Amino acid sequence: MKARELTIVGAWEFTPVLHGDDRGVFLEAFKADVLAETIGHRFDLAQVNTSVSAAGVLRGIHFADVPPGQAKYVTCTVGSILDVIVDIRVGSPTFGRWDAVLLDDVDRKAVYLSEGIGHGFCSLEDGSTVTYLCSTGYNPGGEHGVNPLDPEIGIDWPRVARDGTPLEYELSAKDLAAPSLSEAREAGLLPEYGAVADFVDGLR
């Protein structure tokens, strides 16, 4: 498995080796030792989530209070998504920037994002199935969102589906009502870069 650090500090792309023949494909989708060596500490798995999305569904940008935060290891087992990582940590040198990785059922890549980083994706076909390995369980009182269409962030969401047809975005009412990045910062919802760094260092 090959790891590549993304432009957002604390986020990586993982590309597995695919072993294929006439019967199909086998791969190691998650390797705890490779992940620990890459991120500098062990990943404690607390919960596994799965979402299934139609083409054009946007989910995010979601993040959790730190501590305890929620690190995620994200894969797309069926279909394809554009997975987006947003630096929402106040004081970070890349605050407000985003990076993206295509996750699909061909290359079968995964993305890891550490605590304090925003996450979202756009489904590129019906039935796209995303699996999230999470370091902490669901904590409704400590989870927040930033509007994924916020022009200040300026995410270049895909305009066409995997089959080339135009995409029509569909968001949940909660995501549509989410504040902009500036509004979330003014409301004190965003994690502080220094506090997040201290927390992650404490995991090592």
Which residues are known to be catalytic? 62, 132
Widest CA span of the chain, in angstroms? 56
How far apart are the C-alpha atoms of 175 and 60, rounded to whole Å?
6
The conformation of residue 57, written as its DSSP 8-state character, comes to B
How remote is the C-alpha of 107 from its chain's centroid?
17
Is the peptide bond prior to 68 cis by the omega test (within 30 degrees of 0)? Answer: yes
How far apart are the C-alpha atoms of 179 and 202, rounded to whole Å?
30
DSSP secondary structure string, 140-173?
Answer: GGGEEE--TT-TTT-----SB-TTSPBP--B--H
How far apart are the C-alpha atoms of 79 and 41, rounded to whole Å?
31
